[in-house]
Structure 1
Amino acid sequence: MDLTRAAAEACDADDPLTGFRDRFTVDDDLLYLDGNSLGRMPCETPAALAQVVEQEWARGLVRSWPSWIGAAARVGDLLAAGVLGARPGEVLVGDSTSVDLYKLLVAATDARPGRDVLVCCADDFPTDRYLVAGVAQARGMTVREVPADVDQGLDPAVLAAALDERVAVVVLSAVAYRSGALADVAAITRTARDAGALVVWDLSHAAGAVPVDLAANGVDLAVGCTYKYLNGGPGAPAFLYVRRELQEQLRQPIWGWFGQRDQFAMGPAYDPVPGIERFGVGTPPVLGMAAVEVGAGLVAEAGVDRLAAKGRALGELVVALADAWLAPHEVALASPRDPARRGAHVTLAHPQAWQLTQALVDRGVVPDFRTPDRVRLGPAPLYTCFVDVWDAMDRFREVLATGAHEGYPTERARVT
């Protein structure tokens, strides 16, 4: 691979997605490689929010509810068709990822009576593990945390060995939050189904960055956030997916009036509406959904397959430059080397990762830090240039070569 800046410029010139960068608010002085934590703001988002605030709310007031009340399913259908590879009526937007995961985890557990074990990955995102532990404790169940390599991700054979007739539900991430390791969603789903268990997939680091093809992969249940690669903004509502054939079999635990059949009849007893809307709870976050609709629309327009191809190419550039420039300074790749086994972010390990992260931020590069000693680089393919990656890695090289990070306190000193 040609590692010159001119080669990176040539990649940008050939990039079929290059025009999408102009549709985001971009500070050209900032090399932003944290799109896997919070995506940039689309240029269309302020106008979309202003329409809701200044026209629908300020002028329409309660008369605007006819257009708001179906937004959770409407935006869900946009995600289904353009991002998730799902069918209409299988995705609903609303609540947070944690709340949506709780709803599906409890509903799936109830659908497997007589089974008393929940399975999760020991290296999964903390909230996912906490929720599994909380549901298990409340129901007198047992948790099996399956070990995983912090860099390479979950071994499907290790997971298979943990599955038996006692397992009700498995909770896993399609892309590991720390390393970016990509799970084989289809194969793992089949393995769990053969054992009689349901899988709830967390797509937070996958949606909008890699193809997930929920219908084609036979996925039953999934959740995910919209503020990373889908660019819905901080605190944007999450989404949940329930395969159509399962919807009538499941009853989620939070019985709110937006999941009620004929909700305005104000009936005395809860009777869930047929279809995906039975997984709704309360009044939908109208402003948040307006922003999600813009971000999801851009992803759908760009095409997930094209985004995934560019994401792999950006990741390969990160890896190649790290090998050439950073490895002599004790930086090691902490993600799968095979791009087919990675999502859209790449993680690097160094004993002083926290100090390096702070030194980079002070030099106009925004990565993020993950314990114990990881620098995570997330060049979101919708708006990140190849030259952005080259320049960021060049500054990374300079920090290491000059020892500029040595003057920063350790994370422990920062906390205390």
Structure 2
Amino acid sequence: MELDAVSIEQKDQQDQLAHLRQHFSLPEGVIYLDGNSLGALPSNVSAVLQNAVEEQWGQSLIKGWNCHNWIDLPSRVGNRIAKLVGADEGTLICADSTSLNVFKVLATAIKLRPDRKVILSDTGNFPTDLYMAQGLKELVSDEIELRLVAPEDVEDALDETVAVMMITEVDYRTGRKHDMKALTQKAHSVGALALWDLCHSAGAFPVHLKEAKADFAVGCSYKYLNGGPGAPAFVYVAPKHQGSSGNPLTGWMGHNAPFAFDLGYAPSVKTDQMRVGTPQVLAMTALNAALDVFDHTTLEALQAKSIELSELFISEIQRRCPGLELASPTDPLKRGSQVSFSHEHGYPIMQALIDRGVIGDFRAPNIIRFGFAPLYLSFADVLKAAEIIEEVIAGNLWDKPQYHQKSKVT
């Protein structure tokens, strides 16, 4: 879809979601295409955090746990996220990190299927999920097997030996999207449980945990949910599993009565069983404020705009930069809200783009990624980004020593 600047301006004027951009603080001269790594700063967060620090903490001190209801932040924020991933109230809490939540849920799933020892995942899964499975194996039993197959082979690999299928819905490198409902149905047909990682899904497009009958889900809140760097993660437990806690991290906040201070551990029979320690009040307060923007739109509308933005981007890049190879599915319904290209010099290309105000990121060995957050991206942003990418590629502007020097974070 080749469009000129006038046509793009008209599209932005007709965009029903354009007003959402005002809810974010974005630096001048930057086209931010990395919301799939870290969301932009919602404009209401700074004032909310200032109040939480100076008024709630500063003035209320320890009373804040009751008078500001800090203690229930995991549930309150969790219920707001639940609406965005198709889950019922009371089935999802905000807690800890994605990695810790993966570990808790895998241990629970293995406990629920004691006669099975296989954790099935795919080679496109985010490495931390695999690392946590490996750590569980080393800690618990050498009998546990982490079985990895190609993403397209997951369905065929599901059999009666699998205890739990652990899949990230959207491949972090390519944006390839798994069919949650179909794979969960197949897992259940062979007696396996289904754990879904929603890090690249939540807040980007409609997710239907309840409809898909997922057993468990985890995810982070600092990408499309815009919760901020290091924002707390979330964990979902289907109602049928809430009375069967297998969480090995038996911290006091997962206790059925934490302030009874019993010497023995008695797990909560609700999703609170997945809580461990004291909630991160300031971080959850920031996340809670960040979620306000979702009250002004629907995930269906966000997905529709995401598809338009990404289709425009792909068309422009393929026309302008034939040396970049599309690494994402061509069908927009089979990818998340990101587009990836491969190039042997992907890292220096991305550094040159960042230096010119187009921020995406790089994933080894050769992937440059661009995330599309419809809450704050315009069609003009996409067209301008394509123009700058063309300049960098066509002029070999990436081939400078400073762009080849790798930073710790890529």
Which band: TM-score by shorter chain? over 0.9
User: What is the aligned counterpart of 1:386 among 353, 374, 379?
Assistant: 379
Shift of residue 52 of structure 1?
1.2
**Pairing 1:172–2:167 present:** yes
Question: 2:385 aligns to what SS in structure 1?
Answer: helix
**Is 1:25–1:43's contact at 8 Å kept on the other side of the alignment?**
yes
**Amino acid aligned to 1:296:** L
Contact 2:351 2:403 in 1 (8 A): no
- Contact 1:170/1:200, CA 8 A, preserved across alignment: yes
Partner in structure 2 of residue 235 of structure 1: 230
Alignment partner, residue 290 of structure 1: 285
Check whether the contact 2:2–2:315 (CA below 8 A) recurs between aligned residues: no
Structure 1 residue 302: Cα displacement: 2.0
1:268 pairs with one of 263, 267, 274: 263
1:185-221 CA-to-partner distances (Å, cap 9, x unmatched) read 0000111111111111110001000111111111110
- Counterpart of 1:63, as a letter, is K
> Are the aligned partners of 1:32 and 1:365 in contact in 2 as well (CA < 8 Å)?
yes
For 1:59, the equivalent position in structure 2 comes to 59
Identity %: 39
* Alpha-carbon distance, 1:296 to partner: 2.0
Q: Report Cα offsets for 1:346-380 as digits up to 9, x if no partner.
A: 00111111111011111111110111111101121
| Aligned mates of 1:208, 1:95 — CA distance in 2 | 19
In 2, are the aligned partners of 1:379 and 1:389 still within 8 Å (CA)?
Answer: no
Residue segments in structure 1 that go unaligned for 5+ positions in a row: 148-153
Asked if 2 retains the 8 angstrom alpha-carbon contact of 1:332 and 1:348, the reply is yes
Question: Residue 143 of structure 1 aligns to which amino acid in structure 2?
Answer: L
Aligned partner (choices 132, 144, 147) of residue 144 of structure 1 = 147
What SS does the corresponding residue of 1:406 show, helix, strand or coil?
coil
Against the structure 1 CA distance between its residues 292 and 413, is the aligned structure 2 distance closer, same or farther, given a 3 Å change threshold?
closer
Conserved 8 A contact 1:120-1:132: no
Tell me, what secondary structure is at the counterpart of 1:235?
A: coil
1:177 and 1:361, CA in 2 relative to 1: closer, same or farther beyond 3 A?
same
Q: Deviations over 1:86-126 (max 9, x none)?
A: 10101100101101111111111111001111111112111
Question: One-letter code of the match for 2:236?
Answer: Y
Distance across 1 between alignment mates of 2:114 and 2:86: 30
Q: Give, in whole Å, the separation in 2 of the partners of 1:275 and 1:394.
A: 52
**TM-score, structure 2 normalization:** 0.96
Could you tell me whether the CA contact under 8 Å between 1:236 and 1:289 is conserved in 2? Answer: yes
Q: CA deviation at 1:413?
A: 7.1
Deviations 1:123-172 (A, max 9, x none): 2111011111221233211111112xxxxxx22xx212222222111111
CA distance in 1, matches of 2:13, 2:169: 32
Residues 299-308 or 10-19, more deviating: 299-308
Q: Give, in whole Å, the separation in 2 of the partners of 1:247 and 1:263.
A: 17
Residues 180-259 of structure 1 correspond to what in structure 2 (within 5 A)?
Answer: 180-259=175-254
Q: Aligned pair 1:99/2:100, yes or no? A: yes
Contact 1:144 1:162 in 2 (8 A): no
Query: Residue in 2 aligned with 1:376?
Result: 369
In structure 1, the partner of 2:2 is 2
Which position in structure 2 is the counterpart of 1:77? 79
Amino acid at match of 2:24: F
Report if aligned partners of 1:91, 1:241 keep a CA contact under 8 Å in 2. Answer: yes
Q: Give how far 1:408 is off.
A: 3.9
Cα distance, 1:224 vs structure 2: 0.4
Distance 1:244 1:13 in 2: 44
Equivalent position amino acid for 1:92 in 2: I
Contact 1:118-1:169 within 8 A present in 2 as well: yes
Write the letter of the residue equivalent to 1:95: D
The equivalent residue for 1:151 is: none
Question: Aligned pairs, how many?
Answer: 404
What's the offset of the Cα at 1:295? 1.8
CA distance in 1, matches of 2:147, 2:174: 22
Question: 2: CA distance between counterparts of 1:300 and 1:337?
Answer: 31
Structure 1 segments of 4 or more deviating over 3 A? 408-415
Q: Is the 8 A contact 2:30 2:358 kept in 1?
A: yes
Matches within 5 A, 1:94-133: 94-133=95-134
Secondary structure of residue in 1 paired with 2:147 = strand
Range that drifts further, 265-274 or 134-143: 134-143
CA displacement 1:233-255 (0-9 Å, x = unmatched): 00000000111121112321110
CA distance in 2, matches of 1:410, 1:60: 49
Change (3 A) 1:123 1:411: farther
The DSSP-based 3-state class of the residue aligned with 1:248 is coil
- Counterpart of 1:249 in 2: which secondary structure? coil
Structure 1: how far apart are the matches of 2:126 and 2:397? Answer: 31
Aligned mates of 1:318, 1:287 — CA distance in 2: 37
CA distance in 2, matches of 1:257, 1:339: 44
Q: 1: distance between equivalents of 2:342 and 2:155?
A: 29
Name the aligned partner's letter for residue 389 of structure 2: F
TM-score scaled by length of structure 1: 0.94
Give the corresponding residue for 1:150: none
RMSD, aligned α-carbons: 1.4
- Structure 2 distance, partners of 1:258, 1:413, is 41
User: What secondary structure does 1:397 align onto?
Assistant: helix
> What amino acid is the match of 2:344?
P
Name the amino acid aligned to 1:142: E
Secondary structure, in 3 states, of the residue corresponding to 2:336?
coil
Cα distance between partner residues in 2 of 1:212 and 1:390? 29
Equivalent position SS for 1:169: strand
**DSSP-derived class of the 1:130 partner:** helix
Whole-angstrom distance in 2 between the partners of 1:252 and 1:134? 15
